A and B are shown apart, each in its own frame.
Chain A
Amino acid sequence: MTIGLSHYLILSAILFSVGLAGVLRRKNLLMLFFATEIMLNAANIAFAAISVHIGDLSGQMFALFIIAIAASEVAVGLGLLILIYKKYGTLDLDNLSIMKG
């Protein structure tokens, strides 16, 4: 069995669903970050696979950009997480609802 485009896309979809489920279900901010990372990488897989499939490099370039941006986003995000933890002593979203309307 050869591994084709659809396999990659299915993998990407599964990963994305896992990430989405994490985003929806998890209450810990740190876990939320992990979930978003999974979703980003699901997108990267899809980009890279389609890029190879149609023989165009721009998809891979996008994937590289996303990796770079995700890295910097995590760096900033983790810094903020640490500050939040220091200030409130928790990362539980249910306890962090000060922005009520």
Chain B
Amino acid sequence: MENYVYIALFAPLVSSLFAALFAQKPKIQLVGIVTSVLIIVSLLASLTLLLHIEETGKAVSVTLMDWIQAGDMDIKFGFTVDQVTAVMMSVVTLVSSVVHVYSNYYMESDRSFNRFFSYLSAFVFSMMILVMSDNFLGLFIGWEGVGVCSWLLIGFWYDKKDVTRDINPSISPSWAANEAFIMNRIADLGMLVGIFMIYWNLGTLKYSEVFAHLDTLSHGMLVGIGIALFIGAMGKSAQFPLHTWLADAMEGPTPVSALIHAATMVTAGVYLVIRANPLYSQIPEVGYFIAVLGTFVAIFAASMALVNRDLKRVIAYSTLSQLGYMFAAAGLGAYWVALFHLAAHAFFKALLFVGAGNVMHAMHDELDMFKMGGLKKQMKWTFLYMGVASLALSGIYPFAGFFSKDTILEAAFNEHTYGIWFVLWFTAGLTAFYSFRQVFMVFFGDERYHELGVHPHEAKPYALWAMAPLAVLALIFGFFKEDFVEFVTKFLPAYEMSEHTEHMVWILTIVTTAIALTGIIIAYFKYSKGLKRNLEFEKKNKVYNLLINQYYIPILYEKTFSKPYKELSEIAWKEIDMEIVDAGVDGIAKAVKVMGDESRKMQNGNLSSYLKWMVAGFIIVTVVSLLTVVIK
């Protein structure tokens, strides 16, 4: 089984290196094929491991090599594949495989085709390290690796200038990439502090050892570690107040959004909380904070998705909102529920994004949904896929989202945190509304795209086939809930609903489905026909403006952090660097140059004067040596 671990881990690395060989060359179709095949190999290995662990119920651990040995510090580069990891691996490699194959279509006319695949596979490799590592340091390496790949891929079209569109503030890909990277750096500092605290107190970073010795720590220390690690998770999973980068990350190519900013990387924070469940279950107050924050982000992001006109941003906010759901579940102690929603969400959200990619291709990269409409005639399959994904996202029976989201709501109800339950319940309605607002705006109504002069076309058949696995999973994944629970609760703490909740399940389900259906119906009446932009409303309405401007948070950050920082940097540059550091360095150089210029005059070519200098030097040396003798 060890070999499967290595295959699953290193196939993406090989794939990335292979593609990197041709990074500077024009498109080579073979690169796309080879990388896709290698990722599929990784998927098969992951599935084999999943089945193996299902059969034996035991984790597979391997140690690749000694990594850091300094004094008492002994950290091995080890991997362990347990139930949680196996699920994560399978989800990651499955979505990656789909996205790789799909990217062959999406990037077909991009001039950096090969480079794209190199980055994409490198991301998969980093993500695999993140989920497979058996210690916090390996996790951190993967954590940083996905951050770098995310930066590379958001800024993939780094030469694109700021384009001022009427729907977005002007943001260039390289700006968005930097924003994402810097925001993550802030959070990573928190995570690093958490890792230091663990090592300082326990002298080890291996999960199994750390979690076995947690009871030796004081409660305050546990809270400190829990908070520090969660700050790291907040950055990667774009939780408030570090959320702004996720929507801006939509500047990257759409397959990237599907893979990184919907299905895998952003769920790393949730994975961390699930992985550290022995820690968080000992500090319920931090858990409660996580749940409340998650709930807040769920409704906060959903509210921004209500009004946005940008196809991809709506999905990005929806991702943010669903991450909030996952954190709510994990914070309440329902770890397997969070993992279940993570997996289900990965499938239908990636599908939604890839579908949006098809629409973007058809619309020549136009993102404003007000300029689309009526596309279902031309894009039957994409409509079907996005419809399935939206139904799953809205939580309609029998789609995957129904099972996972309902379980989160049940857990919130079960914990008697009715406030959280109510907000999440209401958000479920908002989710259904904005998902179907999107579907209706894009696929129904008048064909507003004629004004743009585009002729929409369906994606190529193989791209549509590549999406099929996701669609099938979005449709049927919910029915595996019982198996899933049985599988992961061998590792994660079981979460049982109380009897009271069991009685209420039917009512809860009906209430939740009702609000979701209400959302869909409202969206239908409002957006399916005769849609026109109400500019008057957009200008005057305060709530609308608050939401479309993302609660003015980007502007606030700009004013309170970016601008003062820039001014500070200007001062540091002009006053400190130029006046002190540079002046010092230049001064030394100037002094040497002046001395050189002056002493150059000695070399006048006249042997006689050379001899005089020589004699003078000889006399000086003699006098000095005599003086030293005399002084001694």
Contacts and interface: CB of A to CB of B under 8 A. Distances in A.
A93 B607 contact: yes
Contacts of A93: 606-608
B604 interface: yes
A101 B606 contact: no
A97 interface: yes
A23 B610 CA distance: 11
B612 A24 contact: yes
A100 interface: yes
Nearest to A23: B611
B603 interface: yes
B606 A20 contact: no
Contact of A23 (B600, B604, B606, B615): B615
B619 to A, nearest CB: 10
B594 to A, nearest CB: 16
A27 B615 contact: no
A8 B628 CA distance: 27
A100 B615 contact: no
Given A101-B600, A101-B603, A20 B615 contact: yes
A1 interface: no
A98 B600 CA distance: 15
Contacts of B607: 29, 32, 93, 96-97
Contacts of B220: none
A27 B600 contact: no
B615 A99 contact: no
B615 A24 contact: yes
Nearest to B600: A101
Contacts of A94: 606, 608
A26 B608 CA distance: 8
Nearest to A36: B611
B605 interface: yes
Interface in B424-479: none
Contacts of A32: 607, 611
A100 B602 CA distance: 9
A29 B610 CA distance: 13
Interface in A3-17: none
Contacts of B611: 23-24, 32
A60 B12 CA distance: 83
Interface in B542-601: 600
Contacts of B602: 101
Nearest to A99: B605
A32 B607 CA distance: 10
A100 to B, nearest CB: 4
A27 B608 contact: yes
A100 B611 CA distance: 15
A97 B615 contact: no
Contacts of B600: 101
A29 B603 CA distance: 18
Interface string A58-101: 00000000000000000000000000000000000110111111
B614 to A, nearest CB: 9
A32 B608 CA distance: 9
Contacts of A97: 604-607
B506 to A, nearest CB: 100
A81 B604 CA distance: 21
B604 A101 contact: yes
B617 to A, nearest CB: 13
A100 B603 contact: yes
B559 to A, nearest CB: 60
A21 to B, nearest CB: 10
Contact of B605 (A24, A26, A29, A98): A98
A101 B604 CA distance: 6
Contacts of B606: 93-94, 96-97
Contacts of A20: 615
Interface string A16-47: 00001001101101001000000000000000
A99 B604 CA distance: 7
A97 B605 CA distance: 4
Q: Which of B602, B608, B611 has the most CB of A within 10 A?
A: B608
Interface in B33-49: none
Nearest to A92: B608
B605 A100 contact: yes
A26 B609 CA distance: 11
Contacts of B604: 97, 100-101
B530 to A, nearest CB: 89
Nearest to A94: B606
A23 B615 CA distance: 9
Interface in B351-375: none
Contacts of A99: 603, 605
A83 B25 CA distance: 64
Nearest to A100: B605
A100 B606 CA distance: 8
A23 B616 CA distance: 13
A91 B341 CA distance: 99
A85 B396 CA distance: 109
A29 to B, nearest CB: 8
B171 to A, nearest CB: 59
Interface in B290-304: none
A29 B611 CA distance: 12
A100 B615 CA distance: 20
Contacts of B612: 24
A27 B607 CA distance: 9
14 contacts: A24-B611, A93-B607, A93-B608, A94-B608, A96-B606, A96-B607, A97-B605, A97-B606, A98-B605, A99-B605, A100-B603, A100-B604, A100-B605, A101-B605
Closest 6 A/B residue pairs (Cβ):
A101-B603, A97-B605, A100-B605, A99-B605, A93-B608, A97-B606
Given A23-B615, A96-B605, A101-B603, 15 more contacts: A20-B615, A24-B611, A27-B608, A32-B607, A93-B607, A94-B608, A96-B606, A96-B607, A97-B604, A97-B605, A97-B607, A100-B603, A101-B602, A101-B604, A101-B605
